[in-house]
Amino acid sequence: MKQGLAIAALAAAALAQGPLSAPVFAQETPRDQIAAGSAAERQRELQLLGITAMRPTVSARPLNAPDITNYDEAKANPYPKLPPLLVTNIGQKVTTADQWWKVRRPEIVEFFEREVYGRIPANVPAVRWHVVEEVEDKVGDIPVLVRKLQGHVDNSAYPELSVDIMLHVTLPLAQQGKKIPVVMAIGSVFPRQMGPAGPYIVAQPRLPSPISQVLARGWAYAALDTNSIQPDNGASFNRGIIGLTNKGQPRTLDQWGSLRAHAWGVSRAIDYFETDKDIDAKKVAIFGASRTGKGALVAQAFEPRVLVAQIASSGAGGVNLYRRNYGESLPNILAANEFHWFAGNFLKYGAVGKTTNDLPFDAHEMVALIAPRPTYIAGGALMLGPPEVVPGDAWQDTRGMFMSLVAASPAWKLLGKQGLETDQFPPMETFLGKGDIGFRQHPYGHTAAPNWPTFLDFAAKYFN
């Protein structure tokens, strides 16, 4: 197998499984320096906000730790009342699509841009795409063409920094000359070490790789390297697209974090798809898992050209309700190793003296920004083992994500579509997909792999 294809295929397969190991940093900076730089930037932003203390984080493991998070469903819902989705900021009920598009949706967008994920500055430079390499080969028994692309961001206003977005597109040769759908995974396109799931996670069924499943349907598969857009740490706001746009200066409190920057990169990849003679840019699906699942939510919510997405195991800061006492907590995603995903303003919601119930928003409102387009939400499940074992995908709280979808569904109904088909949490491995929100959980831990077949069936309804 030629090197270009080997990188693209192996990377795509690893990316599609979902991250099981630590992030791969774009730079070669030692980890301790990255951690120190992230902590320093977080402290700078806390000082700007006047915050002197943050609420404590919780632990995922071991299960007998004094700061262990809650995994008891009976204690998971201390705040049962959510902010109303279809009521405007001045208290008017939203009963028409016109009210949604002109009033309520812009209110939600403004809030999440200013307070949670950050605003994209007006002066972001343009991107120019070019093909670096094309290689013909096979993925399994499918002849393919692999395009390695680079999107050069105009740095003429600040030559000290260079940003080149990396994108691999794999096309089935049998479909050349046709406009075909594309499924794009967001994350690192380079192979990462995929450690064993461990003896207390049920062995997964053997399935073809996600890239093979996509290609077998006659669709293209793309992999977008988000680290080439913005490094995934808080020490690097002076680098990547955020650093280039700010000419190496610190970000302001309402400016974008890395999730919004990566979502901007998704939009630039779609710009390229619109120029590719082999891609139907009106049929774009995206995929992300865990932290890139959060990124997939942000990308689909803010980019209307994303037709459908698989948002897997996104947890807190993604689809999961904040008003849950289960698994990952708000203080955890605001800690020094994760705060950079968000705008600096988001830090104030983790300050001492506030509670989760003080939030003027919740995740169902962010999910509703996707409506009326289809989306597929997936996750793993709780798998208890000895005290030292991570309990499967419980940290991401699949039930909390389901509850968020139930609360967001009225937006689809308002816009003439069907949201989630039931408000009853389904049995394990039950696929919900009759409406325009798909949902499935599996018992195989923190991986997206078992949900790919049903996701592709769900996407096919809209691609075909």
pLDDT in tens, 318-339: 999 999 999 999 999 999 999 9
From residue 324, give the alpha-carbon distance in Å to each of 64, 72, 101, 237: 21, 11, 29, 31
pLDDT of residue 384: 54
- Who wins on pLDDT, 214 or 29? 214
Q: What is the mean pLDDT of residues 62-85?
A: 91
Q: What is the pLDDT of residue 390?
A: 56
Which of 203-212, 225-234, 285-294 is predicted least confidently?
203-212
Under DSSP, the state recorded for 205 is P
Q: pLDDT value at position 334?
A: 98
In order of their start, the domains of the chain are 3-463 (3.40.50.1820)
Lowest mean pLDDT among 58-72, 245-259, 441-455: 58-72
Q: What is the pLDDT of residue 391?
A: 63
Q: For residue 61, what pLDDT is reported?
A: 81
Burial 99-137 (b: 16+ CB within 10 A, else e): bbeeebbeebeeebbebbbbbbeeebbebebeeeeebeb
Q: How confident is the model at residue 21 (pLDDT cuts 50, 70, 90)?
A: very low
Tokens coding 322: 């904040």
**Residue 76: count of CB within 10 angstroms of its CB:** 18
Q: How high is the pLDDT of residue 464?
A: 87
* Confidence band of 65 (pLDDT split at 50, 70, 90): confident
In this prediction, residue 388 carries a pLDDT of: 59
Q: For residues 168-192, give the mean pLDDT.
A: 85
Query: Would you say 178 and 208 are in contact if contact means Cβ atoms under 8 Å apart?
Result: no
How far is Cα 239 from Cα 357, in angstroms, rounded to an integer? 35
pLDDT at 389: 60
Answer with the residue of higher pLDDT: 17 or 40. Answer: 40
Distance CA(68)–CA(400), nearest Å, equals 18
Does the pLDDT at position 411 exceed 60? yes
pLDDT tens-digit profile of 94-147? 999 999 999 999 999 999 999 999 999 999 999 999 999 999 999 999 999 999
The contacts of residue 409 (CB under 8 Å, 6+ apart) are 419, 420, 435, 437
Would you say 259 and 241 are in contact if contact means Cβ atoms under 8 Å apart? Answer: no
* Between 188 and 330, residue with greater pLDDT: 330
**Predicted pLDDT at 12:** 46
Does residue 199 register a pLDDT over 80? Answer: no
What gap in Å lies between CA 108 and CA 127, rounded to an integer?
A: 28
pLDDT for 283: 98
Tell me, what's the pLDDT at 387?
Answer: 57
pLDDT at 191 over 80: no
The pLDDT-based confidence of 189 (bands split at 50, 70, 90) is very low
Please give the mean pLDDT across all residues of the chain: 90
Q: Is the pLDDT of residue 9 over 60?
A: no
d(CA 267, CA 186): 12
Local confidence band at 458 (pLDDT 50, 70, 90 cut-offs): very high
Which is higher by pLDDT, 392 or 431?
431
Per-residue pLDDT, 63: 76
pLDDT grade, residue 28 (50/70/90)? low
**Which structure tokens are listed for 45?**
């932003």
Q: How confident is the model at residue 7 (pLDDT cuts 50, 70, 90)?
A: very low
